[in-house]
Structure 1
Amino acid sequence: MELRQLKYFIEVARLEHFSMAAETLHVAQSALSRQIGLLEKELGVELFEREGRNVKLTLIGKAFAAQAVIALKAMDNATQLVEEYLDPERGTIRIGFPSSIASSTLPTIISAFKKGYPDVRFHLRQGSYKFLTEGIKNREIDLAFIGPVPASDPDLHSDILFSEPFVALVPETHSLAAKGSIPLYELDKDSFVLYPEGFVLRKIAVDACHQAGFRPFVPFEGEDLDAIKGLVSAGIGVTLLPETTLFENMPRGTVLLKISHPEVKRTVGVIIPKSRQLSPSEKLFYEFVLDYFRHIPLWL
């Protein structure tokens, strides 16, 4: 069985058409058909059912295709790893991140890194706290920015980059808008706009309200950070957000209020797997990130 045969097989399975697959692969249709025939002969099964000019996977063909995709992905990863060892400044890094660092922190880091290593490529994946931690464990993500940083997870190595306070975002028409700083209990009569249950930023906000002595009324929920800000801007309610989510990104018609009591904050950091070594490109970026934040005290 040849790697070429697997690639041909996957392309035919994807397009369900030999001539279209041959055109995509830039090979003669006769050569493609011959290689698929040799693969079927070696396996001793038919992988495709012919239906005129089209083909469909047989039952065993579907099962084989699922494993062939995994095998090809493993080969691609292995090839990429070798290429990166030869030149770590040309690799690809899969980075995970939450929406709360998407507008300021992440672009700043990547922009600074690209100035020194312009040929490194990034595959960015945004997701929830659980998505990020599970993505690292399942090797779907190489490195993830996260907040708060996991306190203890046997499968993850964590580094805290900085800590930041939460602030209240209120409409400019709010009765407290001119105060600048408030104890959190002063918002106990307000409607809150928060992330849904299960989101870590929701938990931090609700826990802070409980600590301030009240249970927040949350009639509005949203998974999108900009949507939450927009609802506050429209006068729908108030919210609690990490301060960096508002850096140079304050929606019109809103006011930021610092929280004097209780202290509401989170750590922001980076997580990598404990179960495997980072590739050269990943290690290059990881060490850059750690060094970058050591020299920027304004984040602390």
Structure 2
Amino acid sequence: MGDAVRELSSADLAGFVAVAGSGHLTASAAELGISQPSLSRRVARVEAQVGAGLFERTGRRLRLNARGRAFLPHAVAVLDQLRDGTVKVHRLMDPEQGTVRLDFMHSLGTWLVPGLLRSYRSVHPHVNFVLHQDAARPLAERVLADDADLALVGPRPVGAGAAGSPLGWAELCSQPLAIAFPEDHPLAAAGPVPVSLEQVGEEDFIAMRPGYGTRLLLDELLQQADLQPDFVFESMELSTVAGLVSAGLGVALLPMNDPYLAPTGVVLRPLEPPARRELGVVWRRDAAAAPPVNQFRRFIVEQETVGGATGAPWNGGGEL
């Protein structure tokens, strides 16, 4: 049994899986680019390893028997694990051929992320990106759990970038925050004059769901002002929040200078005292150095404009 284990290869398992899928030696051999006798020997080695025949042969067709059906998922799992391990090694070696797992908030999917990917892929076309959207807080947790390499979030996660924190942080830009009013609201007449939260404490609020970046900022500001307004609707999209403000359902906290957040029928008044939404990138400091990830992270921080969309400056500083 020990000798059989040593002789069994991933190619043998791949041959068995191919035949299990097609039911034909000839077709599977052509798919694998080998001769039919070579494939027959691979399947025979697998059957010798497990100590039983795995196929029922009817004419030229091979069908998995009960033993083959029991063994198939384990063979597939071994090949998947080997493939995943190989991909991870390649990610650590080649910055031009690897994979970057990039997470980002929903509100950045319309302008910041497309601009970054378009610019980066024009220079590094063979880098693969695995993308994921979520709220700010779960995104930071995904980075810590090594489910993502980088996350574009705002505001800055608590402690990120500080000495001893497992999360690195680089700020990319900062947006002033404002209260959004329907254009026929009495407080909208003052235009761009700053407004305090106390002036809108009795208003109905439309907000992002708990855990989303702008909602985290709003909750902190309301706590500081000792206010508890009514939330008439909670959304996953800032564009929806802005649209419902324009419909007269309430007021909202929105970032200014967002290139894709300019609905009609809404007046933005900056907050007094001023408050801002930081946008930045986080990563796990103790993660193995992966050249594709490091190269893309440096590219992000070195950009002169936010996604090429607004001309607003990045803060190119921060830890790399």
The letter of the residue matching 1:298 is P
Gaps of 5+ in 2: 1-7, 316-320
Confirm whether residue 26 of structure 1 aligns to residue 20 of structure 2: no
Query: Could you say which residue in structure 2 is the equivalent of 1:131?
Result: 138
Deviation (angstroms), 1:294: 9.3
Deviation (angstroms), 1:258: 0.9
Query: Could you say which residue in structure 2 is the equivalent of 1:69?
Result: 80
Deviation (angstroms), 1:17: 5.9
Confirm whether residue 264 of structure 1 aligns to residue 269 of structure 2: no
Gaps of 5+ in 1: none
Query: Could you say which residue in structure 1 is the equivalent of 2:176?
Result: 165
Calculate the aligned-residue CA RMSD, in Å.
3.8
Aligned with residue 146 of structure 1, among 153, 159, 162? 153
Identity of aligned residues (%): 27
For the 8 Å contact 2:206–2:244, the answer to whether it is kept is yes
Number of residue pairs the alignment of both structures matches: 292
How far apart, in 2, do the equivalents of 1:42 and 1:176 lie?
A: 79
| Compared CA separation, residues 80 and 11, structure 1 to 2 (3 A) | farther
How far apart, in 2, do the equivalents of 1:247 and 1:24 lie?
A: 55
How far apart, in 1, do the equivalents of 2:284 and 2:240 lie?
A: 32
TM-score of the pair, normalised by structure 2? 0.73
Query: Could you say which residue in structure 2 is the equivalent of 1:217?
Result: 230
Query: Could you say which residue in structure 2 is the equivalent of 1:298?
Result: 313
Confirm whether residue 191 of structure 1 aligns to residue 204 of structure 2: yes
Give runs of aligned pairs for residues 1-300 of structure 1, distance below 5 A. 1-7=8-14, 18=23, 26-27=31-32, 35=42, 38-44=45-51, 62=73, 65-66=76-77, 68-82=79-93, 84=94, 88-152=95-159, 154-179=165-190, 180=192, 181-244=194-257, 246-261=258-273, 263-292=274-303, 298-299=313-314
How far apart, in 2, do the equivalents of 1:171 and 1:49 lie?
A: 72
How far apart, in 2, do the equivalents of 1:44 and 1:187 lie?
A: 76
| Compared CA separation, residues 214 and 139, structure 1 to 2 (3 A) | closer
Deviation (angstroms), 1:279: 2.0
TM-score of the pair, normalised by structure 1? 0.78
How far apart, in 1, do the equivalents of 2:23 and 2:239 lie?
A: 46
Deviation (angstroms), 1:205: 0.6
For the 8 Å contact 2:92–2:289, the answer to whether it is kept is no
For the 8 Å contact 2:18–2:28, the answer to whether it is kept is no
How far apart, in 2, do the equivalents of 1:81 and 1:277 lie?
A: 8
- Partner SS, residue 96 of structure 2: helix
Deviation (angstroms), 1:227: 2.4
